[in-house]
Chains A and B, each alone.
Chain A
Amino acid sequence: MSDTITTPKPTNILRRVPWRTIAIVFPFFAVFIALAIGSPAFLSAQNVGNVLDRQSGILIVAAASTLVLIAGGIDLSIGATYMFTAVVCGTLIVKVGGVAGAVLGITVGILAGLLVGIINGVVSTYLRINPLIATLAMSFIILGATKLVSQFGKQGIGQIRVDVPEFRWLATTKPLGVSLPTWIAFVILVILAIVLWRTTFGRYVYAAGGNVEAARLAGIRVNLVRISTFALSGLAAGIAGVIDLARTPSVPENDSIATTLTFTVLAGIVVGGTSILGGEGAIWRTVFGILFIAMLYNGFTLLRIDPLFQGIALGVIILIAVGFDAWSKLRRR
């Protein structure tokens, strides 16, 4: 910010800091420092590595979902898509086998996510169904399809396990001592952040969410922009599903995995400070939001606090985050 006006009181500089946008940074580092002091294990390379490795899938999904929210949409089907792609991928690995199975599983799994995303986008734009409802409905459909695929994949076996080296390398490789999933997440986050920050598409995403009609009359193909964000979100769910399958390595079977992922992602985005009304937000804020929640959960484990309180704490944090946002909008006047 340049100083165009010549009556700066010392407070003016403080006033010009966009507190609302960087709000998440303060609780994040407060908890970070508290945990670093309270638990010696917290800062250990192993613990940090584990947390990041476990969060990589969620971070990828959350980053793409941030784009959906900024563009004025919302995607509740990410959890279901995530599970669906894992099942598709696992089934192909088991059925085809070998290197071919792994390659096919990974490719088809990710493309399945992309396809779901495109369908979400088309349904919620051209068919004019509210994205909240459209993706909610889609998530039921996808969960149904997931069961269908997994029944076909099992055929007698109890649970699909994909503990084959041709596939597991995805999670076990550690270039420069950091797990491959963490690297993948890092690269995707950086790419999406740059896309949002410096590309025409990023601008259109902000414009579409900030004022649809203005964006449309300015000549932006708003529907196409929104479909693209949904497609990216589906694609991200696909990548995350495949990565997490390689980490676990058994195919998820419980619907609650889907809902938990969706909620955690949305919680992280909101805690990070991206508006669910669209037009505002950033990837880095989402990263802080997701990692804040992960760090808190990790802290509960390290400090041996009853996990029962995790949910309660998260709920309180979301309310504080949204409340702070509303309050600071009021103060901004």
Chain B
Amino acid sequence: MTADAVAVGAPQLQVELRGVGKSFGGTPVLQGIDLVITPGEVHGLVGENGAGKSTLSKIIAGLYSADEGTLVVDGEEIDFGSPREALAHGIATIAQELALVPALTVAENVFLGREPRTAGFIDRRELKKRYIALADRAGFTLDPDRPVGSLRIADQQKVEILRALARGASFIIMDEPTAALSGKDTELLHGVVRQLAASGHTVLLISHFLSEVLELCDTVTVLRDGKHIRTAPTAEETETSLIEAMLGRSLGSVFPEKSAPPLGGTAEVLTVRDLVAPGVNGVSFSVRAGEIVGLAGLVGAGRSEIAHAVYGAVPRAGSVAVNGRELGGSTIGAAIRGGVFLIPESRKEQGLVLQRAVRENVTLSNLGGLSSGGWIRTATEAREARGMLDRVTVQGDERRSVSALSGGNQQKVLFARALQRARHVLIADEPTRGVDVGSRRGIYDLIAEQARAGIGVVVISSDVEEVLGLAHRILVIRGGRIVAELEGARMTEANVITAAFAEPAPSEEL
């Protein structure tokens, strides 16, 4: 166990997984993974949410230990007990949340905790010298005296990488490094990864952006449902081939076929008149039975606020009627009794009770119907929950904690809850946020199915394509008002975006 890898250019590591398996609470997350990561390459790791990418990287990084199989580093079987041990062997992870001290300078951050000292005082000159030597070898140029807090995120990531290198890391794991970055920073970070590869480091890159993987990686590994699907040179892959490997099927249409828009005479299930609430400045619209209405607009335009006001989650003025009958009051209870249900935009903060079981989360809004005199009829509840979960295609034991599910399945659990109560109107706020490609179609199908069953659906999304793909009619929101109503041929991305941004309504020229 020689752990004194001193500087950059340290021995390159061959990391190998042999039959690695890992489960959480009885659910296998990884099964029989055999994988060799060749020294000096940029190795991409792709897969849907819940495919096991992060778990795999965490096993290599020493955050988890494998239940089955072995991790082999340079021919030696190792079970890292902690990230510290992994780092001692030259393996470091660059996390999405950076652990830097903003007030300290670049060089101080890089050598934090191992500053060169003379008689107890930090030797600044030596610090700078070492920093420059290190940065040179890595091929980075960053001013050592800049406070880290003043740097762009991509540059902060560089600092984080340099810190890992200063500790002798030669195998760098990057988990979604560009997920939170703007276009410019993404470019910069891509440069960093290339630089690392050029200076002889091995990089394991986990990313949702397939174009990024194809551009940067030498080799790419696809995981699906915790299993290793294939590892191939990137040159042999395309975006389509990767997606098909991730999904395990060919890539069909992203959106379900639209049902015919309801005819003019179809009854309105939801009628909103002069709605005023915090962030909502006088909104009137209606939704007919079987119609999907999309609310588009920029973040903060007031779309979710409209949904909350209709649902009675905030105090409101104006009228909200379901099937022509005014709701009894502006409370959530009145909305639910009227057959309106909201699937909120943030499932973790507003939707699920994460500590509780899947089953309880499904039935939370419908307990009144599953109990007599406050006493829950558990057999009925179990049957109801199972039936609902089958409808939204969530498998597995519904007694486990809902936090164990993937993002897509968590969203489906919320749909399962909504299906019991949304008798007339379903409002889905950002229904596919944080949901992987494979589960998206399932959620779109659920939305389309509701509309076909005669329910009026309101879909709120920041993803213009999603709104266009699903809705019969689009309302563009800006400043808490409806600024455009688009239907039929006028439903184009250009029109939506123009209306969302520009002051004059685009309808005149068209």
A203 CA / B354 CA spacing, docked (Å): 13
A207: interface (CB < 8 Å): yes
Assess whether A210 is interfacial by the CB under 8 Å rule: yes
Closest chain-A Cβ to B277's Cβ sits at a distance in Å of 15
| Closest Cβ–Cβ distance, residue B304 to chain A (whole Å) | 12
Is the interface on chain A under 10, 10 to 19, 20 to 34, or 35 or more residues? 20 to 34
Mask, B309-349, CB within 8 Å of A = 1, is 00101000000000000000000110010000010100001
Q: B356 on the interface (CB 8 Å rule)?
A: yes
A204 to B354 alpha-carbon distance, docked (Å): 14
Q: Is the CB of B23 within 8 A of A207?
A: no
Nearest residue (CB) in A for B399 is A1
Residues 452 to 504 of chain B near chain A (Cβ within 8 Å) = none
A211 at the interface (CB under 8 A from B): yes
Most buried by B among A198, A203, A217: A217
User: Would A7 and B28 count as touching, CB distance under 8 A?
Assistant: yes
A163-B421 Cα distance, complex, nearest whole Å:
58
Q: Which residues of B contact A16 (CB under 8 A)?
A: 25-26
Question: Knowing A5-B26, A220-B364 touch, does A210 contact B21 (C-beta < 8 A)?
Answer: no
Instruction: Kindly state whether residue B380 has any CB partner on chain A within 8 Å.
Output: no
CA distance A220 to B374 in the complex (A): 14
What chain A residues lie within 8 Å of B417 (beta carbons)? 218
The residue on A at minimum CB distance from B67 is: A9
Known: A1-B399, A203-B360, A203-B367. A217 touches B353 (CB 8 A): no
**Looking across the interface, which residue of chain B has its beta carbon closest to that of A220?**
B364
Given the interface pairs A12-B23, A199-B374, the reply to whether A207 lies near B353 with Cβ below 8 Å is yes
- Using CB atoms, name the residue of chain B closest to A278: B355
Q: Knowing A1-B399, A4-B397 touch, does A217 contact B355 (C-beta < 8 A)?
A: no
Given A5-B27, A207-B356, does the pair A217, B313 have CB atoms closer than 8 Å? Answer: yes
Q: Does A215 contact B (CB under 8 A)?
A: yes
Provide the bound-state CA to CA distance between A219 and B343, in Å.
12
Does A214 lie at the interface of the complex (its beta carbon under 8 Å from any beta carbon of B)?
Answer: yes
The 0/1 profile, CB within 8 Å of B marked 1, for residues 203-233 of chain A is 1101100110111111111000000000000
The 8 A CB mask of A248-286 against B (1 = contact, 0 = none) is 000000000000000000000000000000011000000
* Residue of B355, B368, B399 most packed against chain A (CB within 10 A): B355
A-B contact count (CB 8 A): 97
Contacts of B350 in A (CB 8 A): 213-214, 217
Q: Is B31 an interface residue (CB 8 A)?
A: yes
**B354/A210 in contact, CB under 8 A:** yes
Q: With A1-B26, A216-B313, A219-B336 given, is the CB distance from A200 to B374 under 8 Å?
A: yes
Using Cβ atoms and an 8 Å threshold, which residues of chain A touch B64?
A: 333
A5 near B375: Cβ-Cβ < 8 Å: no
Complex: A199 Cα to B354 Cα, angstroms:
20
Shortest distance between the CB of A18 and any CB in chain B (Å):
9
The B interface is mostly helix, strand or loop, or mixed, namely: mixed
Instruction: Scan residues 154-207 of chain A and give those whose CB is less than 8 A from a CB of chain B.
Output: 198-201, 203-204, 206-207
Tell whether A2 is near chain B: CB-to-CB under 8 Å: yes
Within the complex, the shortest CB–CB distance from A289 to chain B, in Å, comes to 19
Q: Are A219 and B365 in contact (CB under 8 A)?
A: yes
A201 touches B374 (CB 8 A): yes
Tell whether B434 is near chain A: CB-to-CB under 8 Å. Answer: no
Chain B residues within an 8 Å CB radius of A200: 367-368, 371, 374-376
Are A4 and B354 in contact (CB-based, < 8 A)? no
Closest to B336 in A: A219
CA of A305 to CA of B27, assembled, Å = 49
**1/0 per residue B359-391: CB within 8 Å of A?**
010001101100100111010000000000000
Whether, in the assembled complex, B506 has its beta carbon less than 8 Å from a beta carbon of chain A, the answer is no
- In angstroms, how far is the closest chain A Cβ from the Cβ of B275? 18
How far is B417's CA from A206's CA once the two chains are assembled, in angstroms?
Answer: 17
- Taking CB atoms, residues of chain B closer than 8 Å to A207 are 353, 356, 360, 364
- Verify if B351 is at the interface (C-beta below 8 Å from A): yes
B332, B364, B371 — which one has the most chain A CB atoms within 10 A of its CB?
B364
CA distance A9 to B69 in the complex (A): 13
Q: Closest CB-CB distance, A329 to chain B, in whole Å?
A: 11
Q: Tell me whether A214 and B23 are in contact in the complex, defined as CB-CB below 8 angstroms, given that A199-B374, A200-B374, A203-B364 are known contacts.
A: no
Residues of A in contact with B (beta carbons under 8 Å apart)? 1-5, 7-9, 11-12, 15-16, 198-201, 203-204, 206-207, 210-211, 213-221, 279-280, 333
Closest 10 CB pairs of A and B: A210-B353, A200-B367, A218-B365, A219-B336, A218-B364, A211-B353, A199-B374, A207-B353, A213-B350, A210-B355
